Each structure stands twice: as C-alpha cells, then as structure tokens.
C-alpha cells in the first residue's frame, strides 16, 4: 500500500510547523559580510581564498557543499544508483 500526502505551504510555514528556528537574520548578516568581502576580489584565486575563509567550516564546508551539488546534478541527470530497486511489500 502506498499513501501520498501533499502539503502546500511556504518555507516559513513548514519551518514553524516543524519547530525549526528562524535563521533568516543570521543568513542576511552572513550574505552581507560575504558580499562586502567579495567586492575587492580581482582574481579567481583570491575569490577562492575568500570563499574558503568565510564559508562555514572553511575548506571542509566548501568541499561538502561541492559534493552535495555534484551528487544532486548526477541524480537529476540519471537518477540515483539503486533507486530503481523496489522491495516486494
């Protein structure tokens, strides 16, 4: 048996319903600081250096984000390996 439930709500409503905190103020400060830091960037090497220093968890966070984006692109292009296997319920 398969039951599908569709919920139509905004991200703010979903966050509130799940009890997650509103981090939009912290995100705005982060984006503002990142924008200010990037204004003086004149080369790709300098851009990478600034991005690594300002990103959460530094270089490790950048690598995790890159892996996340790459796996999302692979999943969108050809599906997730093993996802076609269905259990016989």
Number of residues that make up the chain: 89
Contact 47, 41 (CB under 8 A): yes
> Is residue 77 in a domain?
no
Which among 18, 16, 50 is positioned nearest to 33, based on CA atoms?
50
Tell me, yes or no, whether 81 lies in a domain.
Answer: no
pLDDT one-digit tens code per residue, 19-71: 888 888 888 888 887 777 777 767 777 777 766 766 666 667 767 777 777 78
Residue 88 lies in a domain: no
Q: Give the pLDDT of residue 22.
A: 85
Q: Is residue 29 part of a domain?
A: yes
- Domain range holding 45? 11-72
Question: What is residue 84's predicted lDDT score, i.e. its pLDDT?
Answer: 45
The Cα 42–Cα 39 span in angstroms is 8
- Residue at 1 is within a domain: no
Q: Give a yes or no: residue 6 inside a domain.
A: no
Q: Rounded to the nearest 5°, which phi and psi values hold at 8? A: -105, 105
Q: Is residue 64 part of a domain?
A: yes
3-state secondary structure of 88: coil
Q: Is the pLDDT of residue 3 over 90?
A: yes
pLDDT of residue 4: 94
Residue 89 placed within a domain: no
Domain tally for the chain?
1
Bigger pLDDT: 22 vs 3? 3
Residue 88 has pLDDT above 60, yes or no: no
């Amino acid at each position: 048996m398969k039951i599908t439930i569709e919920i139509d709500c905004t991200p703010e409503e979903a966050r509130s319903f799940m009890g997650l905190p509103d981090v939009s103020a912290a995100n705005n400060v982060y984006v503002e600081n990142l924008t200010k830091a990037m204004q003086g960037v004149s080369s790709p090497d300098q851009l990478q250096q600034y991005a690594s220093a300002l990103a959460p968890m530094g270089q490790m966070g950048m690598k995790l984000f890159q892996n996340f984006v790459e796996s999302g692109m692979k999943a969108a292009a050809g599906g997730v390996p093993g996802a076609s296997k269905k259990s016989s319920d």
